[in-house]
Structure 1
Amino acid sequence: MKTKKLFSVWIFLLLFFACSTGSSEELPANAENPPSEEPMYFPPNNNDLWETKSISSLGWDQTKVQDLLTYLENKNTKSFIILQNGKIVMENYFSGHTSVTPWYWASAGKTLTSAVTGIAEQEGFLNINNKVSTYIGTGWTSAPLAKENLITCKNLLTMTSGLDDSLGDDVSPANLLYKADASTRWAYHNVYVKLQDVVASATGQTWSQYFNSRLRDKIGMTGSWIQSGNNSVYWSTTKSMARFGLLALNRGNWNGTQVINSNYVQNAVSTSQNINLAYGYLWWLNGKTSYYLPQTQFQFSGKLIPNAPDDLFCALGKNDQKIYVVPSKKLVVIRMGDAADNINPALSDFDDVLWQKINAVIK
């Protein structure tokens, strides 16, 4: 009888320590929304109402806000929004611009093309590793056929088509000339827009129809594509741009609906090739050891925006249209307006100085 009791105690102790050991294990690093963490907020799709957070509730420095706003106004800004965990913390408009005034995204809209390409792939309409001519036929460039057939959809997403970037924005075949083999040269080029033709051909819908039904309407955006010269440019309100930034922050998930495959989004905001480390799938990336800029083949050392968080990724457009996304701080920052310094490049010291002033507020 004594032996049975000892055996029972021994089994109990084994079970107790086994359970204790198991319960002390840490949650996986990628565990989503632990109980103590506030869930990400998403504004409703059917109206423009949006919950807010106060600067004081976040422990930010209210005394630095005016300096930020003055800088924005002096730099020709029309609108500025900061979201934290989905809620609006700052929303400011300048020079008669309002919450319902549409403005153009310029090249920041490249990220919309990236997103919709990913949606078309997840729906089985295309494969980004297939050559572009699979979907729109041969002869879409003036490159020799063997060279044209090297160009994949992924090359268009990563700016590695090998086509001559010095000939302007015209993407007619006569203006798309061979410069180097695909994947061997990074160059910022308007040829990415051919992805819209790929999506239209693959899905059997117009680009706008597919974009509206699969992305815009899913997350409550407004706006439309407007032809401007050789480009189709997206116009929307600032809050619609913020909605897209929030979708990117949440890795393609909108309030429980996976609009874009999360793996695709992760790839889109990671280094996509080994030439320009600061470029994903039409997204710019901070925190890398080097980067290239448009219209140059010079490799710059250091981070794209030194004052910004290392994990920031961003959409950058002509005249300083900006979507900044910072996962570590659950931030989305939007800036729309005219060129900050009356110059046209997508990148200028405006990014770095702006982040210096944002840091003064949020730290």
Structure 2
Amino acid sequence: MRDKIAKLFTRIILLVLITSSSLGLVSIQQNSTNINDFPDSDSNLSTQDVYWPGDSSEWTEVEAETQGLDSDKIAAMFRDMMLYIDIHSIIIVRNGYLIVEEYLYNYQVLDTKEYSDQLPPKSYSGPIYHDQASTTKSLISILIGIALQQGLLDNLNQTLYEFFGHIWNESTFVDSALKKNITIGQLLTMNSGLSGEYYHDPWPPVDSINLSLEHVPLSYTPGDPAVWEYTDFGPNLLSGIITNVTGGQSAGEFAKDNLFTPLGISEEEYNWNHDSLNISYGAYEFECSPKVQAKLGMLCLNNGTWNGTQIVDEDYIKDATSTQVSTGKGAYGYLWYTNGPYGGYYSVGAGGQNIYVIPQYNITVGFTGANEASYDPLLVNYIIQFAADNAPEWDRAPGSKTINEGDSFYYDVNASDTSGVDYSINDIVNFHITSEGIITNSRRLSAGVYPLLISAYNPFNNSITAGINVRVIATSSNEIPGFDFNLILFMILCTSAVLIFWRKKYSNIK
């Protein structure tokens, strides 16, 4: 009897081992048979392509729909805006592609790409460029960033006295003791204390630096966080600082070498007036074409980079176009207003000279005109309206993936759509996908095949879907697929315990 029981349990143990081995081999076979049918795809980190225009004359228009915008909406804008806004030009650029460049007179779109010579003398500067008024201030801000990029300036805490100490006159400069410690940063944020109401004649000034230092009073303590006062005198001083650190170049000359030429802007596209000492006016008197407006906006949109070259200090541009102080009109950075539509920012020039930058949608829009109305309704209701019939496209078709059991899953899929892309996935129990298209496992994945449907869709719910398999290969603690030796050991121990019990019971009976 004892021999029969021993043989029985020996057979049970052998059966357990053979069954486990067979299951392991089946698992190996199942997990390896069709792996080649599911090639892995590399992580895709591509982004929306940006076109970098060279010479402005070669920058030609493309259809709005090629960049996801709605040409019917834009056409309706030109009809409707004639009812209430006197616009002289409008330019729209998305992803670097020129979508609209139109010139208007008396509310009518002109047949030529030139301004009408019937415009008022203050507006009409030439066939292709227009007075920019205080948008000049935003240009000066860009040049300060270039001076930082090139090491001509150390930081924004440098004071007026550091640059104008050689002409400083304690006895004649009004509010000299406080004025000498005004910083570049305070000039950039309109928080310098310089009065915005001081009247002077002639205009523009013959000597803009002397006027600001000797005659313009302070209306509050420089840097007072509770005060913001718009003034032309601060930007004029910033222009003088550029001339100081460049060894005598006017801001216009510095811009030509370090900004306009790298951006493909010719001397025929702009004009920048200066005072009797060759100091470019930093607050006004800059004139340019719509394409110059658009290129300046594009440069800021891309954080100071132009076609791979860092022209303006990146951190500076980010700070310049972010809120630094609150104003009665909203929010202000470094001579840029930062409360634009869709989280964008914009320059403001009297009479409707504006550059809008909308990073969320990679859009730059430039306006010139003779009005004080806000352009926000045109942006929201007509321009930033996307074509509803385009679906996203995969930058690279997603492919199936294979991982070992216990490994973390990470896969980056990318789709492009000019109106924006979001993602969804069918298996939200085991996986998670971010708004950037990164898929990870949300819990430990057991061995098996997980079919995934990945969808990319735009704001109009037009979508594209790809199906992939995530194959998880079983592995044991000793890296031999298909074997769980802990389970096998447990079964052997249980079997041995039963065998010992029966042996004792049999011995007692005997």
- Match status 1:273 vs 2:325: yes
Change (3 A) 1:235 1:42: same
- The residue correspondences of 1:71-90 to structure 2 (distance < 5 A) are 71-74=80-83, 75-90=85-100
Change (3 A) 1:189 1:89: same
Deviations 1:125-182 (A, max 9, x none): 2232111121022349844332112311111111011122211466514531021111
Q: Which residue is equivalent to 1:318? A: 350
Q: Does the CA-based 8 Å contact 1:323-1:335 persist in structure 2?
A: yes
Tell me the distance in 1 between the aligned counterparts of 2:384 and 2:219: 45
Q: Does the CA-based 8 Å contact 1:142-1:178 persist in structure 2?
A: no
Q: Larger radius of gyration, structure 1 or 2?
A: 2
1:265 to partner: Cα distance: 0.4
- Name whichever of 166-175 and 247-256 sits farther off: 166-175
Residue 132 of structure 2, aligned match among 105, 113, 121: 105
Q: Which residue is equivalent to 2:338? A: 285
Tell me the distance in 1 between the aligned counterparts of 2:383 and 2:60: 23
Residue 225 of structure 1, aligned match among 265, 268, 272: 272
Change (3 A) 1:253 1:203: same
1:227 to partner: Cα distance: 4.6
- The residue correspondences of 1:193-342 to structure 2 (distance < 5 A) are 193-207=236-250, 208-221=252-265, 222-227=269-274, 233-273=285-325, 278-286=331-339, 308-309=341-342, 311-339=343-371
Tell me the distance in 2 between the aligned counterparts of 1:176 and 1:59: 50
Q: Which residue is equivalent to 1:189? A: 231
- Percent sequence identity is 26
Q: Which amino acid aligns with 1:133?
A: Y
Q: Does the CA-based 8 Å contact 1:270-1:280 persist in structure 2?
A: yes
- Match status 1:133 vs 2:161: yes
Change (3 A) 1:275 1:226: closer
Change (3 A) 1:68 1:275: closer
1:324 to partner: Cα distance: 0.3
Change (3 A) 1:78 1:132: same
1:313 to partner: Cα distance: 0.4
Tell me the distance in 1 between the aligned counterparts of 2:299 and 2:136: 14
Unaligned runs of 5+ in 2: 1-23, 25-39, 115-126, 388-510
Q: Which residue is equivalent to 2:455? A: none
Tell me the distance in 1 between the aligned counterparts of 2:82 and 2:164: 45
Change (3 A) 1:57 1:180: same
Q: Which amino acid aligns with 1:159?
A: M
Deviations 1:201-227 (A, max 9, x none): 111032122121111111112312025
Tell me the distance in 1 between the aligned counterparts of 2:301 and 2:324: 18
- Match status 1:68 vs 2:77: yes
Q: Normalising by the residue count of structure 2, what TM-score does the alignment of the two structures yield? A: 0.55
- Name whichever of 53-62 and 102-111 sits farther off: 53-62
What's the C-alpha RMSD, in Å, of the aligned pairs? 3.0
Tell me the distance in 2 between the aligned counterparts of 1:203 and 1:61: 46
Q: Which amino acid aligns with 2:159?
A: K
Tell me the distance in 1 between the aligned counterparts of 2:386 and 2:137: 28
Q: Which residue is equivalent to 2:409? A: none
1:190 to partner: Cα distance: 0.4
Q: Which residue is equivalent to 2:119? A: none
- Name whichever of 254-263 and 232-241 sits farther off: 232-241
- Match status 1:358 vs 2:382: yes
1:72 to partner: Cα distance: 4.0
Q: Secondary structure at the match of 1:90?
A: strand
Change (3 A) 1:244 1:275: closer
Q: Secondary structure at the match of 1:106?
A: coil
Q: Secondary structure at the match of 2:374?
A: helix
Q: Does the CA-based 8 Å contact 2:146-2:311 persist in structure 1?
A: yes
- The residue correspondences of 1:144-159 to structure 2 (distance < 5 A) are 144-159=175-190
Residue 64 of structure 2, aligned match among 55, 64, 84: 55
1:275 to partner: Cα distance: 5.9
Tell me the distance in 2 between the aligned counterparts of 1:274 and 1:63: 37
Q: Which amino acid aligns with 1:325?
A: V
Q: Secondary structure at the match of 1:179?
A: coil
